[in-house]
Amino acid sequence: MSQHMSAPVLDKSNSEFYTHGWFAQTWQLVLWNLYHLRRRLMTRILLGIFFGGYALLLLITILSHILLGNNHGPTIGADPIMALVFPGSLQFMLGYLGLLAPIFLCIIAGALIGGDYGYGLHRQMLTRGLSRAQVFTAQVLALSLLVLGFVGIAILLSILLGMLIGPLFGIAPTLLPLNGWLGVVLTWLTQSVRYFLYMLIAVLAATIGRSVLAGIAFSIGYVFVEFLATTILFSLVGGLSVTVGNAIVSFVSNLPGVVTNTLNSYSTAVIVGQPIASLSELPWQIFLTVAYCAILIAVSYFVYSRSDIFD
């Protein structure tokens, strides 16, 4: 996938990798990765599509409210504008994030890791004194900061607009108690972890395939396969034996995206003050989430540390 720009080059004039210790060098490389992610045309296009699509949905919802007038049903909940008034605006954004963020972030992660192979940047960095551990750590840290920032901006934007749109139409937004705002912070973290896990799948695929195409195609393919598994397989459970049905439910429920999505449901329940169901399963789901991230990072680094990047 062309980036319409020349390959970035590491040299002594634009980096400080040569004058600091391990951690400082790695942090400089994190900043360098974030800088080039921001400059890439593909990143700008994806961000434009995401926020442009969000703006379009807001406009359609507002127009629907205006065109429907007072004929929106017997309850105020039927008014489409309520989806844009906080805290409904937050749920609106979370649904939109769940639709596009896994795909877009997998593309960015696959392009970062695979693109470095295509540009020959691994060869440049390693021949200039950086270790493989530094290069890999910087890439993973850059992706984690990217997803935290992206999800954080999206959530803050939804809160701000939710506080402003309601009063414009004579509807007061709901102010959350302290526990509710704690739920917002937890939602930011759990949403970020969910998408970061998908990005780590792209990292592994791009590292094994040593290309942008491998990282993007495999990770997006996994997102779709997981979606089908959570819809089609669950629908088949009713017609199967209890043993097989339970096995399918257990398998699907422990898939990475399903586990992290369950964590998201816990945090969003805190926002609205609802009791958390199946709290006894929370430790296992946290363990699985951490284990998935650790395994993907470990296997990716194992492959990278033993690959010949000079051929």
Kindly report, residue by residue over 84-105, the tens digit of the pLDDT: 999 999 999 999 999 999 999 9
Residue 31 reports pLDDT greater than 70: yes
Residues in the chain: 311
The number of angstroms, rounded, from the C-alpha of 62 to the middle of its chain's C-alpha atoms is 27
For all residues of the chain together, what is the average pLDDT?
85
Residue 277 is predicted with a pLDDT of 62
Residue 15 is predicted with a pLDDT of 46
Reading the block at residue 95, the tokens are 């649904």
Among the residue ranges 8-12, 20-24, 61-65, the one predicted with the least confidence is 8-12
163's CB contacts (< 8 A; 6+ apart) are 86, 173
Distance (Å, whole) CA 54 – CA 47: 11
Q: How confident is the model at residue 233 (pLDDT cuts 50, 70, 90)?
A: low
Residue 1 is predicted with a pLDDT of 44
Residue 30 is predicted with a pLDDT of 94
Q: How many CA atoms lie within 13 A of 160 on its CB side?
A: 6
CB atoms near residue 3 (< 10 Å): 18
Residue 22 is predicted with a pLDDT of 85
CB atoms near residue 235 (< 10 Å): 9
Residue 113 is predicted with a pLDDT of 92
Q: How confident is the model at residue 224 (pLDDT cuts 50, 70, 90)?
A: very high
Residue 240 is predicted with a pLDDT of 58
273 Ramachandran zone, left/alpha/beta (phi>0; psi -120 to 50): left
Q: Write down the residue that tokens 């970020």 correspond to.
A: 192
Residue 239 reports pLDDT greater than 70: no
Distance (Å, whole) CA 101 – CA 106: 8
Residue 125 is predicted with a pLDDT of 79
Residue 45 reports pLDDT greater than 90: yes
202's CB contacts (< 8 A; 6+ apart) are 106, 107, 109, 110, 113, 215, 216, 218, 219
> Mean pLDDT throughout 115-127?
78
115's CB contacts (< 8 A; 6+ apart) are 3, 121, 212
Task: Give the single-character DSSP code of 233.
Answer: I
Q: How confident is the model at residue 73 (pLDDT cuts 50, 70, 90)?
A: very low
Q: Write down the residue that tokens 């199967």 correspond to.
A: 240
Residue 242 is predicted with a pLDDT of 64
Residue 2 is predicted with a pLDDT of 41
CB atoms near residue 238 (< 10 Å): 7
Q: Where are the alpha helices (DSSP H) in 71-177?
A: 88-119, 121-127, 132-168
Residue 13 reports pLDDT greater than 50: no
Query: What pTM value is reported for the model?
Result: 0.87
